[in-house]
Amino acid sequence: MGAPMRAAVRAEFLKFFTTRLWWGMAIAVFVAGAAFAVLFAILFTSDSLAGSAGGPGGLPTGDALQIANSVYTGGLSVGYLLLLSIGVLQIGSEYRHKTITSTFLSVPRRVRAMVAKVIALLGIAAAYGVLSLVASVSVGALVLNLRGAEAFPSAEILRTLALSLLVLGLWALIGLGLGILIPNQVAALMIGVGVAWIIEPLAGLAIKASEFGRESIAPLMPSEATAAVINTVLASPDDVRLSWWAGALALAGWATLVAVPGIWRTVRQDIT
């Protein structure tokens, strides 16, 4: 990274940490990480699930590794929505408050300015990811131990923890793209969170109604791909799941699909 790019990235980090958004988000990420870890650690070690391979009564199913993964990454279900919001706000507030003018005056090479935003966003996502994991692993491991379950069944957990940072980064990039493509910041936030949280999972259920949809389309959906990357428990034993790297590629594909047109538009448009 050359000096101008480093300076541009530094400015982006400074932008993020000089408004009150960051610590509000930090508290939310930390609390979500801890709360979901406790919830999942209790839920997944309850008698009806423990040692069962078949998932009776429609309960989520998984082995010790998947249970630990789910506990430690439970906060991600909220965390990726928060990072999606941060992505929307990072660019949305620049348009809303017209600070995009001074951004492009200080870094007139717009591709550089936007790449700096992407790099900063990935860094911010990683930092929040670490914060979330500190909460979820410390609290989750404690509860799993108390319940007599294995807190660290295999080293593969480390891969999951590392990949959860990547997942957050990719969701932040989806937010960045949405923040550009939907010019109204509030609309972008509501549409982004609404789709990711409610509509997309419902659409996933609808797609699973057909054999082809269940096997070929549903696994590629953003939320399913996210679950594949961090290898959590399965919602249903019939679900088809991608391997972690294919899930990562699928999620990266979604991020590219939204962020690249958004960035391209910002680079081209008149800033009036």
Q: Which of 1, 14, 50, 146 binds another protein (CB under 8 A)?
A: 14
- By C-alpha distance, which of 163, 186, 8, 154 is closest to 80? 163
Q: Considering the complex, what minimum distance in angstroms separates the CB of residue 99 from another protein?
A: 6
Q: Which of 23, 98, 134, 202 binds another protein (CB under 8 A)?
A: 98
Q: Is 97 in the site for another protein (CB under 8 A)?
A: yes
Q: Is 2 in the site for another protein (CB under 8 A)?
A: no
Residue 173 to residue 26: CA distance in whole angstroms: 18
Q: Considering the complex, what minimum distance in angstroms separates the CB of residue 102 from another protein?
A: 6
Nearer CB in complex with another protein: 82/207: 82
Q: By CB under 8 A, how many residues form the interface with another protein?
A: 27
Q: Is 7 in the site for another protein (CB under 8 A)?
A: yes
> Any idea of the CA torsion for 158, 243, 145, 74, to the nearest 10 degrees?
90
Q: Considering the complex, what minimum distance in angstroms separates the CB of residue 113 from another protein?
A: 8
Q: Considering the complex, what minimum distance in angstroms separates the CB of residue 9 from another protein?
A: 9
In single-letter form, the type of residue at position 122 comes to L
Nearer CB in complex with another protein: 19/236: 19
Residue 240 to residue 227: CA distance in whole angstroms: 11
Q: Considering the complex, what minimum distance in angstroms separates the CB of residue 19 from another protein?
A: 4
DSSP, res 195: I
Long-range contacts of 49-58, Cβ-Cβ distance < 8 Å, separation of 24 or more? 50/149, 54/237, 55/234, 55/236, 55/237, 58/236
- In terms of Cβ atoms closer than 10 Å to its own Cβ (0-12, 13-18, 19+), residue 53 is exposed
Task: Give contact residues for another protein (rule: CB under 8 A).
Answer: 3, 7-8, 10-11, 14-15, 18-21, 93, 97-99, 101-109, 270-272
